[in-house]
Chains A and B, each alone.
Chain A
Amino acid sequence: MLVKKGDSRIKPSEITSRQAYCSRREIIAGMAGLVAAPFAQGATTSPAPLAGAPWPGSLADEHTPKRKAITYNNFYELGNKKEEPAENKHFYDSKPWKVKIGGLVEKPGEYDVDELIGWGDMQERVYRLRCVEAWSMVIPWFGFPLNSLIDRVQPSGDAKYVAFQTFHPLKLFPDEINTSLPWPYVEGLRMDEARHDLTLLTFGMYGEELLNQNGAPLRIIVPWKYGYKSIKALVAIDFVAEQPPTSWNKQAPHEYGFYSNVNPERDHPRWSQKEERAIGSGFFADKRTTDMFNGYEEEVASLYQGMDLIENH
Protein backbone atom coordinates (compact mmCIF):
# COMPACT_ATOMS: atom_id res chain seq x y z
CA MET A 1 0.00 0.00 0.00
CA LEU A 2 1.22 3.45 -0.85
CA VAL A 3 0.63 6.24 1.60
CA LYS A 4 1.72 9.68 0.49
CA LYS A 5 2.41 12.36 3.05
CA GLY A 6 0.36 14.86 1.12
CA ASP A 7 -2.76 12.65 1.18
CA SER A 8 -5.46 14.84 2.70
CA ARG A 9 -7.37 11.93 4.21
CA ILE A 10 -4.56 11.08 6.57
CA LYS A 11 -3.02 13.59 8.89
CA PRO A 12 0.78 13.50 8.96
CA SER A 13 0.61 12.82 12.69
CA GLU A 14 -1.27 9.60 12.02
CA ILE A 15 1.33 8.16 9.73
CA THR A 16 3.43 5.61 11.48
CA SER A 17 7.06 6.62 11.41
CA ARG A 18 9.34 4.22 9.63
CA GLN A 19 11.13 3.62 12.89
CA ALA A 20 7.99 2.66 14.77
CA TYR A 21 6.83 0.56 11.86
CA CYS A 22 10.10 -1.26 11.65
CA SER A 23 10.41 -1.96 15.33
CA ARG A 24 6.88 -3.32 15.22
CA ARG A 25 7.86 -5.49 12.30
CA GLU A 26 10.77 -6.75 14.36
CA ILE A 27 8.46 -7.62 17.21
CA ILE A 28 6.10 -9.43 14.87
CA ALA A 29 9.00 -11.23 13.29
CA GLY A 30 10.14 -12.15 16.77
CA MET A 31 6.73 -13.54 17.66
CA ALA A 32 6.63 -15.46 14.41
CA GLY A 33 9.98 -16.85 15.40
CA LEU A 34 8.43 -18.45 18.44
CA VAL A 35 6.07 -20.39 16.21
CA ALA A 36 8.25 -21.06 13.21
CA ALA A 37 11.77 -20.56 14.45
CA PRO A 38 13.69 -22.05 11.54
CA PHE A 39 11.86 -19.97 8.93
CA ALA A 40 11.51 -16.62 10.64
CA GLN A 41 15.20 -16.07 11.19
CA GLY A 42 15.82 -14.52 7.77
CA ALA A 43 16.45 -10.89 6.91
CA THR A 44 15.17 -9.22 10.04
CA THR A 45 17.23 -11.06 12.63
CA SER A 46 20.58 -12.74 12.35
CA PRO A 47 22.80 -12.31 9.30
CA ALA A 48 24.04 -15.31 7.36
CA PRO A 49 27.39 -16.78 8.37
CA LEU A 50 30.38 -16.14 6.16
CA ALA A 51 33.55 -18.19 6.14
CA GLY A 52 37.01 -17.26 4.94
CA ALA A 53 40.54 -18.58 5.05
CA PRO A 54 42.58 -17.00 7.83
CA TRP A 55 45.04 -14.46 6.45
CA PRO A 56 48.63 -14.64 7.74
CA GLY A 57 48.92 -10.87 8.13
CA SER A 58 46.02 -10.63 10.60
CA LEU A 59 46.55 -8.70 13.83
CA ALA A 60 46.99 -10.88 16.88
CA ASP A 61 45.24 -8.27 19.07
CA GLU A 62 42.06 -9.13 20.87
CA HIS A 63 39.02 -8.34 18.72
CA THR A 64 36.81 -5.45 19.69
CA PRO A 65 33.63 -6.98 21.16
CA LYS A 66 31.21 -7.47 18.28
CA ARG A 67 28.43 -5.70 20.18
CA LYS A 68 30.51 -2.50 20.20
CA ALA A 69 31.44 -2.78 16.53
CA ILE A 70 27.78 -3.08 15.48
CA THR A 71 26.38 -0.35 17.77
CA TYR A 72 29.03 2.37 17.57
CA ASN A 73 29.11 3.51 13.97
CA ASN A 74 29.68 6.50 11.77
CA PHE A 75 27.27 6.03 8.89
CA TYR A 76 25.62 9.42 8.43
CA GLU A 77 23.14 8.13 5.87
CA LEU A 78 21.45 6.38 8.82
CA GLY A 79 21.91 9.24 11.29
CA ASN A 80 24.87 11.16 12.62
CA LYS A 81 24.96 9.91 16.19
CA LYS A 82 26.98 6.81 16.94
CA GLU A 83 24.01 4.69 17.99
CA GLU A 84 21.69 5.79 15.20
CA PRO A 85 22.94 3.58 12.34
CA ALA A 86 22.17 0.49 14.44
CA GLU A 87 18.76 1.85 15.40
CA ASN A 88 17.98 2.82 11.81
CA LYS A 89 19.41 -0.21 10.09
CA HIS A 90 16.02 -1.05 8.59
CA PHE A 91 15.98 2.13 6.53
CA TYR A 92 17.35 0.22 3.58
CA ASP A 93 17.41 -3.35 2.30
CA SER A 94 20.77 -4.77 1.38
CA LYS A 95 19.17 -7.54 -0.63
CA PRO A 96 18.87 -7.63 -3.58
CA TRP A 97 21.81 -5.36 -4.42
CA LYS A 98 23.54 -4.33 -7.59
CA VAL A 99 26.80 -2.47 -8.09
CA LYS A 100 27.31 -0.38 -11.18
CA ILE A 101 30.86 -0.63 -12.46
CA GLY A 102 31.76 1.88 -15.11
CA GLY A 103 34.16 4.44 -16.47
CA LEU A 104 37.39 3.46 -18.16
CA VAL A 105 36.92 -0.32 -18.07
CA GLU A 106 36.64 -3.13 -20.57
CA LYS A 107 33.73 -4.79 -18.78
CA PRO A 108 31.37 -2.18 -17.40
CA GLY A 109 28.00 -3.27 -16.14
CA GLU A 110 25.61 -3.70 -13.30
CA TYR A 111 26.67 -6.67 -11.26
CA ASP A 112 24.69 -8.42 -8.59
CA VAL A 113 26.46 -8.67 -5.26
CA ASP A 114 25.86 -12.44 -5.33
CA GLU A 115 27.97 -12.55 -8.46
CA LEU A 116 30.65 -10.14 -7.19
CA ILE A 117 31.19 -12.19 -4.05
CA GLY A 118 32.48 -15.01 -6.23
CA TRP A 119 35.18 -12.90 -7.90
CA GLY A 120 37.82 -13.57 -5.26
CA ASP A 121 38.83 -15.97 -2.52
CA MET A 122 37.14 -15.04 0.72
CA GLN A 123 39.60 -14.40 3.53
CA GLU A 124 39.34 -13.46 7.18
CA ARG A 125 41.54 -10.45 7.83
CA VAL A 126 41.91 -8.84 11.22
CA TYR A 127 42.67 -5.15 10.72
CA ARG A 128 42.70 -2.16 13.00
CA LEU A 129 40.09 0.41 12.00
CA ARG A 130 41.28 3.89 12.93
CA CYS A 131 38.66 6.63 12.91
CA VAL A 132 39.73 10.24 12.42
CA GLU A 133 37.88 10.92 15.68
CA ALA A 134 40.82 9.28 17.48
CA TRP A 135 39.30 5.93 18.31
CA SER A 136 40.04 2.49 16.94
CA MET A 137 38.67 -1.03 16.80
CA VAL A 138 40.17 -4.41 15.94
CA ILE A 139 37.78 -6.16 13.57
CA PRO A 140 37.87 -9.49 11.74
CA TRP A 141 36.70 -8.58 8.24
CA PHE A 142 35.64 -11.05 5.54
CA GLY A 143 36.39 -10.24 1.94
CA PHE A 144 39.07 -10.34 -0.72
CA PRO A 145 41.43 -7.77 -2.22
CA LEU A 146 39.65 -5.19 -4.34
CA ASN A 147 42.39 -5.96 -6.85
CA SER A 148 40.57 -9.20 -7.76
CA LEU A 149 37.58 -7.15 -8.88
CA ILE A 150 39.78 -4.66 -10.72
CA ASP A 151 41.48 -7.47 -12.61
CA ARG A 152 38.09 -8.88 -13.55
CA VAL A 153 36.68 -5.66 -15.04
CA GLN A 154 39.97 -4.66 -16.73
CA PRO A 155 40.44 -0.90 -16.44
CA SER A 156 42.22 0.83 -19.33
CA GLY A 157 45.63 2.42 -19.01
CA ASP A 158 44.00 5.85 -18.67
CA ALA A 159 42.28 4.88 -15.43
CA LYS A 160 44.39 6.48 -12.68
CA TYR A 161 41.83 6.58 -9.89
CA VAL A 162 38.88 4.58 -8.61
CA ALA A 163 35.78 6.44 -7.45
CA PHE A 164 33.25 4.87 -5.08
CA GLN A 165 29.72 5.82 -4.25
CA THR A 166 27.23 4.91 -1.51
CA PHE A 167 23.46 4.80 -2.08
CA HIS A 168 21.68 8.15 -2.08
CA PRO A 169 19.84 8.29 1.25
CA LEU A 170 17.46 11.10 0.26
CA LYS A 171 16.11 8.93 -2.54
CA LEU A 172 15.61 5.92 -0.29
CA PHE A 173 14.17 7.58 2.80
CA PRO A 174 13.69 11.30 2.15
CA ASP A 175 12.09 12.16 5.49
CA GLU A 176 14.29 10.23 7.80
CA ILE A 177 17.84 11.40 7.58
CA ASN A 178 20.05 14.36 8.16
CA THR A 179 21.33 16.51 5.36
CA SER A 180 24.70 17.15 6.93
CA LEU A 181 26.75 15.93 4.00
CA PRO A 182 26.23 16.41 0.28
CA TRP A 183 24.71 13.11 -0.81
CA PRO A 184 25.52 10.64 -2.13
CA TYR A 185 28.66 9.89 -0.17
CA VAL A 186 31.64 9.51 -2.48
CA GLU A 187 35.17 8.34 -1.91
CA GLY A 188 38.17 7.55 -4.03
CA LEU A 189 41.57 5.92 -4.17
CA ARG A 190 44.55 6.24 -6.43
CA MET A 191 44.82 3.17 -8.66
CA ASP A 192 47.90 1.84 -6.87
CA GLU A 193 46.14 2.25 -3.52
CA ALA A 194 43.05 0.50 -4.83
CA ARG A 195 45.17 -2.33 -6.20
CA HIS A 196 47.19 -2.71 -3.00
CA ASP A 197 46.78 -6.12 -1.42
CA LEU A 198 45.60 -4.59 1.88
CA THR A 199 42.61 -2.86 0.25
CA LEU A 200 39.77 -5.21 0.95
CA LEU A 201 36.43 -5.55 -0.80
CA THR A 202 34.51 -6.52 2.30
CA PHE A 203 31.31 -8.54 2.63
CA GLY A 204 31.33 -9.54 6.27
CA MET A 205 32.70 -9.21 9.78
CA TYR A 206 32.89 -11.48 12.81
CA GLY A 207 32.08 -14.48 10.64
CA GLU A 208 28.80 -13.06 9.37
CA GLU A 209 27.56 -10.96 6.50
CA LEU A 210 27.79 -7.22 7.14
CA LEU A 211 24.89 -5.61 8.94
CA ASN A 212 23.42 -2.47 7.42
CA GLN A 213 24.95 -0.21 10.07
CA ASN A 214 28.36 -1.50 9.00
CA GLY A 215 27.70 -0.93 5.31
CA ALA A 216 25.97 -4.07 4.01
CA PRO A 217 26.11 -5.73 1.63
CA LEU A 218 29.60 -4.69 0.56
CA ARG A 219 32.09 -2.00 1.41
CA ILE A 220 35.74 -1.11 1.08
CA ILE A 221 38.26 -1.40 3.92
CA VAL A 222 41.49 0.56 3.53
CA PRO A 223 43.25 -0.15 6.82
CA TRP A 224 46.04 2.45 6.58
CA LYS A 225 43.61 5.33 6.10
CA TYR A 226 41.08 6.97 8.41
CA GLY A 227 37.76 5.16 8.57
CA TYR A 228 35.82 7.57 6.38
CA LYS A 229 37.87 6.43 3.39
CA SER A 230 36.44 2.93 3.87
CA ILE A 231 33.15 3.62 2.11
CA LYS A 232 30.06 1.63 3.03
CA ALA A 233 27.13 0.15 1.07
CA LEU A 234 28.71 0.51 -2.35
CA VAL A 235 26.43 1.14 -5.31
CA ALA A 236 28.94 2.34 -7.88
CA ILE A 237 32.59 1.92 -8.73
CA ASP A 238 34.02 4.14 -11.45
CA PHE A 239 37.44 4.05 -13.04
CA VAL A 240 38.50 7.59 -13.84
CA ALA A 241 41.49 9.56 -15.12
CA GLU A 242 41.34 12.46 -12.65
CA GLN A 243 41.36 12.49 -8.86
CA PRO A 244 37.68 12.10 -7.91
CA PRO A 245 35.94 14.31 -5.33
CA THR A 246 35.54 12.84 -1.83
CA SER A 247 32.74 13.77 0.57
CA TRP A 248 34.56 14.91 3.70
CA ASN A 249 37.11 16.75 1.63
CA LYS A 250 34.30 18.66 -0.07
CA GLN A 251 32.76 19.39 3.34
CA ALA A 252 35.95 20.70 5.02
CA PRO A 253 39.01 20.65 2.75
CA HIS A 254 41.45 21.95 5.35
CA GLU A 255 40.39 19.20 7.74
CA TYR A 256 40.11 16.18 5.45
CA GLY A 257 42.44 15.62 2.55
CA PHE A 258 42.13 13.20 -0.34
CA TYR A 259 44.74 10.79 0.99
CA SER A 260 43.65 10.66 4.64
CA ASN A 261 46.45 8.33 5.62
CA VAL A 262 46.62 7.70 9.35
CA ASN A 263 49.39 10.03 10.45
CA PRO A 264 50.14 10.79 14.11
CA GLU A 265 52.27 13.74 12.98
CA ARG A 266 49.44 15.55 11.28
CA ASP A 267 46.92 16.68 13.87
CA HIS A 268 43.34 17.36 12.95
CA PRO A 269 41.94 20.70 14.20
CA ARG A 270 39.71 18.81 16.63
CA TRP A 271 41.50 15.61 17.37
CA SER A 272 45.08 14.96 18.24
CA GLN A 273 46.09 12.03 16.08
CA LYS A 274 48.95 10.97 18.31
CA GLU A 275 46.82 8.64 20.37
CA GLU A 276 43.55 6.76 20.07
CA ARG A 277 40.97 5.28 22.40
CA ALA A 278 40.64 1.54 21.80
CA ILE A 279 36.89 0.95 21.78
CA GLY A 280 35.90 -1.77 24.22
CA SER A 281 39.06 -1.56 26.28
CA GLY A 282 37.14 -0.17 29.24
CA PHE A 283 37.50 2.76 31.57
CA PHE A 284 40.93 2.26 32.99
CA ALA A 285 42.85 1.31 29.87
CA ASP A 286 45.48 3.75 28.65
CA LYS A 287 45.05 5.21 25.21
CA ARG A 288 46.95 3.56 22.39
CA THR A 289 49.76 5.33 20.62
CA THR A 290 48.72 5.78 17.00
CA ASP A 291 51.10 4.24 14.50
CA MET A 292 52.08 5.79 11.17
CA PHE A 293 49.79 4.37 8.46
CA ASN A 294 47.87 2.73 11.30
CA GLY A 295 50.64 0.15 11.68
CA TYR A 296 50.89 -0.71 7.98
CA GLU A 297 53.90 1.50 7.26
CA GLU A 298 56.05 -1.37 6.00
CA GLU A 299 53.41 -2.38 3.47
CA VAL A 300 52.31 1.02 2.15
CA ALA A 301 55.01 3.65 2.77
CA SER A 302 56.47 3.02 -0.69
CA LEU A 303 53.22 4.23 -2.28
CA TYR A 304 53.95 7.73 -1.03
CA GLN A 305 57.68 7.97 -1.57
CA GLY A 306 58.82 11.55 -2.03
CA MET A 307 55.42 12.98 -1.08
CA ASP A 308 54.95 15.50 1.71
CA LEU A 309 52.36 13.69 3.81
CA ILE A 310 51.48 16.78 5.84
CA GLU A 311 50.78 18.75 2.70
CA ASN A 312 49.07 15.77 1.05
CA HIS A 313 47.06 14.79 4.11
Chain B
Amino acid sequence: MKSGPLGSISVQKAIVIIICLLPLVNLARIFVFEQPADPYEVAAHITGETALRLLIITLAITPIRSLTGWKRLGIFRRNLGVLSFCYALCHVFFYMWLEAGFSPAYLIDDLAERRYISAGFAAFVMMTPLAVTSNNFSVRKLGALWRKLHRLMYPLCIAACIHYLWLVRGEDAGPFVYLAIVLALLAARVIGRMRRQGSAARA
Protein backbone atom coordinates (compact mmCIF):
# COMPACT_ATOMS: atom_id res chain seq x y z
CA MET B 1 0.00 0.00 0.00
CA LYS B 2 1.15 3.52 -0.80
CA SER B 3 2.34 5.73 2.00
CA GLY B 4 1.68 9.46 2.09
CA PRO B 5 2.87 12.14 4.51
CA LEU B 6 0.27 11.01 7.04
CA GLY B 7 1.08 7.30 6.85
CA SER B 8 -0.73 4.61 4.94
CA ILE B 9 -4.16 4.99 3.42
CA SER B 10 -5.78 2.92 6.14
CA VAL B 11 -4.29 5.21 8.82
CA GLN B 12 -5.59 8.25 6.94
CA LYS B 13 -9.00 6.67 6.67
CA ALA B 14 -8.99 5.89 10.38
CA ILE B 15 -8.16 9.54 11.12
CA VAL B 16 -11.03 10.72 8.93
CA ILE B 17 -13.45 8.30 10.59
CA ILE B 18 -12.40 9.36 14.09
CA ILE B 19 -12.84 13.05 13.22
CA CYS B 20 -16.26 12.31 11.78
CA LEU B 21 -17.32 10.55 14.95
CA LEU B 22 -16.57 13.58 17.14
CA PRO B 23 -20.10 15.05 16.82
CA LEU B 24 -21.46 11.77 18.18
CA VAL B 25 -19.06 12.00 21.12
CA ASN B 26 -20.21 15.58 21.62
CA LEU B 27 -23.82 14.44 21.64
CA ALA B 28 -23.02 11.86 24.31
CA ARG B 29 -21.23 14.55 26.32
CA ILE B 30 -24.25 16.86 26.13
CA PHE B 31 -26.59 14.06 27.21
CA VAL B 32 -24.45 13.12 30.19
CA PHE B 33 -23.17 16.47 31.42
CA GLU B 34 -25.71 19.05 30.29
CA GLN B 35 -28.91 17.04 30.49
CA PRO B 36 -30.71 19.14 27.91
CA ALA B 37 -34.28 20.26 28.50
CA ASP B 38 -35.42 18.67 25.26
CA PRO B 39 -33.17 15.68 24.47
CA TYR B 40 -34.99 14.98 21.22
CA GLU B 41 -34.32 18.43 19.82
CA VAL B 42 -30.61 18.18 20.61
CA ALA B 43 -30.28 14.61 19.31
CA ALA B 44 -32.22 15.26 16.13
CA HIS B 45 -30.38 18.49 15.44
CA ILE B 46 -26.83 17.20 15.96
CA THR B 47 -27.31 13.93 14.07
CA GLY B 48 -29.27 15.57 11.28
CA GLU B 49 -26.93 18.48 10.72
CA THR B 50 -23.84 16.24 10.86
CA ALA B 51 -25.42 13.85 8.34
CA LEU B 52 -26.10 16.78 6.02
CA ARG B 53 -22.62 18.22 6.40
CA LEU B 54 -20.96 14.88 5.68
CA LEU B 55 -23.27 14.38 2.73
CA ILE B 56 -22.24 17.73 1.30
CA ILE B 57 -18.55 16.98 1.88
CA THR B 58 -19.05 13.67 0.06
CA LEU B 59 -20.69 15.50 -2.82
CA ALA B 60 -17.87 18.06 -2.85
CA ILE B 61 -15.05 15.51 -3.22
CA THR B 62 -15.35 15.01 -6.98
CA PRO B 63 -15.45 18.74 -7.89
CA ILE B 64 -12.61 19.49 -5.48
CA ARG B 65 -10.60 16.62 -6.90
CA SER B 66 -10.99 17.81 -10.47
CA LEU B 67 -10.36 21.40 -9.42
CA THR B 68 -7.20 20.70 -7.47
CA GLY B 69 -6.06 17.56 -9.26
CA TRP B 70 -5.68 15.95 -5.82
CA LYS B 71 -6.59 12.42 -6.88
CA ARG B 72 -6.10 10.80 -3.47
CA LEU B 73 -9.12 12.65 -2.11
CA GLY B 74 -11.35 10.12 -3.88
CA ILE B 75 -10.40 7.32 -1.52
CA PHE B 76 -12.37 8.91 1.34
CA ARG B 77 -15.53 9.43 -0.63
CA ARG B 78 -17.27 6.18 0.19
CA ASN B 79 -16.23 6.37 3.88
CA LEU B 80 -17.68 9.84 4.17
CA GLY B 81 -20.89 8.80 2.46
CA VAL B 82 -21.32 5.82 4.77
CA LEU B 83 -20.57 7.99 7.81
CA SER B 84 -23.22 10.43 6.67
CA PHE B 85 -25.64 7.53 6.38
CA CYS B 86 -24.75 6.39 9.93
CA TYR B 87 -25.72 9.83 11.25
CA ALA B 88 -28.90 9.79 9.16
CA LEU B 89 -29.69 6.38 10.63
CA CYS B 90 -29.20 7.77 14.18
CA HIS B 91 -31.35 10.75 13.17
CA VAL B 92 -34.18 8.46 12.01
CA PHE B 93 -33.75 6.29 15.09
CA PHE B 94 -34.11 9.27 17.46
CA TYR B 95 -37.16 10.39 15.51
CA MET B 96 -38.75 6.94 15.67
CA TRP B 97 -37.93 6.58 19.36
CA LEU B 98 -38.49 9.99 20.94
CA GLU B 99 -40.95 11.51 18.49
CA ALA B 100 -42.93 8.65 16.97
CA GLY B 101 -42.67 6.26 19.92
CA PHE B 102 -41.97 3.47 17.37
CA SER B 103 -45.53 3.83 16.13
CA PRO B 104 -45.90 3.13 12.38
CA ALA B 105 -49.24 4.96 12.47
CA TYR B 106 -47.50 8.07 13.80
CA LEU B 107 -44.92 7.86 11.02
CA ILE B 108 -47.54 7.43 8.31
CA ASP B 109 -49.58 10.32 9.68
CA ASP B 110 -46.47 12.51 9.87
CA LEU B 111 -45.42 11.59 6.31
CA ALA B 112 -48.84 12.60 5.03
CA GLU B 113 -49.20 15.76 7.11
CA ARG B 114 -45.74 17.27 7.24
CA ARG B 115 -43.86 17.95 4.06
CA TYR B 116 -40.50 18.29 5.83
CA ILE B 117 -40.90 14.74 7.11
CA SER B 118 -41.69 13.52 3.59
CA ALA B 119 -38.61 15.27 2.20
CA GLY B 120 -36.36 13.87 4.92
CA PHE B 121 -37.80 10.41 4.50
CA ALA B 122 -37.26 10.57 0.75
CA ALA B 123 -33.63 11.52 1.29
CA PHE B 124 -33.15 8.66 3.73
CA VAL B 125 -34.79 6.13 1.39
CA MET B 126 -32.51 7.22 -1.46
CA MET B 127 -29.48 7.09 0.81
CA THR B 128 -30.01 3.53 1.97
CA PRO B 129 -29.14 1.62 -1.24
CA LEU B 130 -26.11 3.86 -1.70
CA ALA B 131 -24.80 3.01 1.75
CA VAL B 132 -25.49 -0.69 1.24
CA THR B 133 -23.56 -0.72 -2.04
CA SER B 134 -20.63 1.35 -0.79
CA ASN B 135 -18.17 -1.53 -0.84
CA ASN B 136 -15.73 -2.99 -3.36
CA PHE B 137 -17.86 -6.07 -3.81
CA SER B 138 -20.87 -4.07 -4.96
CA VAL B 139 -18.77 -1.85 -7.19
CA ARG B 140 -17.44 -4.93 -8.98
CA LYS B 141 -20.75 -6.75 -9.04
CA LEU B 142 -22.87 -3.82 -10.26
CA GLY B 143 -20.37 -2.40 -12.73
CA ALA B 144 -21.91 0.42 -14.79
CA LEU B 145 -25.13 0.18 -12.82
CA TRP B 146 -23.23 1.24 -9.70
CA ARG B 147 -22.40 4.63 -11.19
CA LYS B 148 -25.98 5.08 -12.32
CA LEU B 149 -27.36 4.11 -8.93
CA HIS B 150 -25.05 6.50 -7.14
CA ARG B 151 -26.33 9.42 -9.17
CA LEU B 152 -29.13 9.30 -6.58
CA MET B 153 -26.73 11.47 -4.60
CA TYR B 154 -27.94 14.53 -6.51
CA PRO B 155 -31.68 14.37 -5.76
CA LEU B 156 -31.02 13.06 -2.29
CA CYS B 157 -28.79 16.00 -1.37
CA ILE B 158 -31.47 18.41 -2.54
CA ALA B 159 -34.15 16.49 -0.62
CA ALA B 160 -32.02 16.61 2.54
CA CYS B 161 -31.57 20.39 2.23
CA ILE B 162 -35.27 20.91 1.62
CA HIS B 163 -36.06 18.75 4.64
CA TYR B 164 -34.04 21.16 6.79
CA LEU B 165 -35.39 24.23 5.01
CA TRP B 166 -38.99 23.24 5.61
CA LEU B 167 -38.34 22.36 9.22
CA VAL B 168 -37.11 25.73 10.43
CA ARG B 169 -39.49 28.62 10.76
CA GLY B 170 -37.69 30.49 8.03
CA GLU B 171 -35.65 32.59 10.43
CA ASP B 172 -32.49 30.54 10.13
CA ALA B 173 -29.99 31.16 7.34
CA GLY B 174 -28.35 27.73 7.82
CA PRO B 175 -30.60 25.66 5.53
CA PHE B 176 -30.32 28.23 2.75
CA VAL B 177 -26.54 28.11 2.99
CA TYR B 178 -26.53 24.31 2.71
CA LEU B 179 -28.91 24.38 -0.25
CA ALA B 180 -26.79 27.03 -1.97
CA ILE B 181 -23.66 24.91 -1.51
CA VAL B 182 -25.39 21.82 -2.89
CA LEU B 183 -26.68 23.72 -5.92
CA ALA B 184 -23.22 25.19 -6.53
CA LEU B 185 -21.65 21.72 -6.33
CA LEU B 186 -24.22 20.30 -8.73
CA ALA B 187 -23.63 23.21 -11.10
CA ALA B 188 -19.87 22.52 -10.92
CA ARG B 189 -20.54 18.94 -12.00
CA VAL B 190 -22.75 19.98 -14.89
CA ILE B 191 -20.17 22.51 -16.07
CA GLY B 192 -17.39 19.93 -15.69
CA ARG B 193 -19.35 17.39 -17.72
CA MET B 194 -20.15 19.90 -20.47
CA ARG B 195 -16.46 20.81 -20.72
CA ARG B 196 -15.44 17.16 -20.95
CA GLN B 197 -18.04 16.54 -23.63
CA GLY B 198 -16.92 19.66 -25.48
CA SER B 199 -13.27 18.59 -25.52
CA ALA B 200 -14.28 15.04 -26.44
CA ALA B 201 -16.26 16.37 -29.39
CA ARG B 202 -13.30 18.47 -30.57
CA ALA B 203 -10.92 15.53 -30.31
Contacts and interface: CB of A to CB of B under 8 A. Distances in A.
Interface of A: 68, 71-72, 76, 80, 82, 135, 178, 180-181, 251-252, 267, 269-272, 277, 279-280, 282-283, 286-287
**Which 9 A-B pairs give the minimum distances between C-beta atoms?**
A180-B171, A72-B37, A68-B37, A279-B37, A80-B171, A267-B113, A283-B39, A279-B38, A270-B114
9 contacts: A72-B38, A180-B171, A269-B114, A270-B116, A270-B169, A272-B106, A283-B39, A286-B101, A287-B101
Contacts of B40: 277
Given A68-B37, A277-B40, A283-B98, A76 B171 contact: yes
Nearest to B167: A270
Interface string B98-125: 1001000010011001111000000000
Interface string B22-48: 000000000000001111110000000
Contacts of B36: 72
Chain A interface main SS type: loop
Nearest to A70: B37
A180 B40 CA distance: 24
A205 B116 CA distance: 36
Interface in B149-181: 166-167, 169-172
Contact of A252 (B98, B167, B170): B170
B171 A178 contact: yes
Given A181-B171, A272-B113, A277 B38 contact: yes
Most chain A CB within 10 A, of B38, B39, B167, is at B38
A271 B109 CA distance: 11
A270 B166 contact: yes
Contacts of A181: 171
Nearest to B39: A283
Contacts of B110: 272
A277 B99 CA distance: 8
A252 B166 CA distance: 13
Contacts of A277: 38, 40, 98
B109 A272 contact: yes
A82 B113 contact: no
B26 to A, nearest CB: 15
Given A180-B172, A277-B98, 17 more contacts: A68-B37, A71-B37, A135-B38, A180-B170, A180-B171, A251-B170, A252-B169, A252-B170, A269-B113, A270-B114, A270-B166, A270-B169, A271-B114, A272-B109, A279-B37, A280-B37, A283-B98
Contacts of A68: 37
Nearest to B166: A270
Contacts of B170: 180, 251-252
Nearest to A180: B171
A41 to B, nearest CB: 26
A82 B114 contact: no
Contacts of B39: 282-283
Contacts of A82: 37-38, 41
A181 B170 CA distance: 10
Nearest to A64: B37
Contacts of A135: 38
Contacts of B166: 270
B130 to A, nearest CB: 27
Nearest to B113: A267
Contacts of B109: 272
A71 B116 CA distance: 27
Contacts of A272: 106, 109-110, 113-114
Contacts of A71: 37
Most chain A CB within 10 A, of B101, B114, B167, is at B114
B80 to A, nearest CB: 27
A132 to B, nearest CB: 10
Nearest to A68: B37
B38 A80 contact: no
Contacts of B115: 269
A178 B174 CA distance: 13
A276 to B, nearest CB: 11
A178 B172 CA distance: 9
A181 B172 CA distance: 11
Nearest to B110: A272
Contacts of A286: 101
Contacts of B106: 272
A240 B68 CA distance: 65
A267 B111 CA distance: 13
Interface string B68-90: 00000000000000000000000
A72 to B, nearest CB: 4
A282 B39 CA distance: 8
Contacts of A267: 113
A271 B41 CA distance: 13
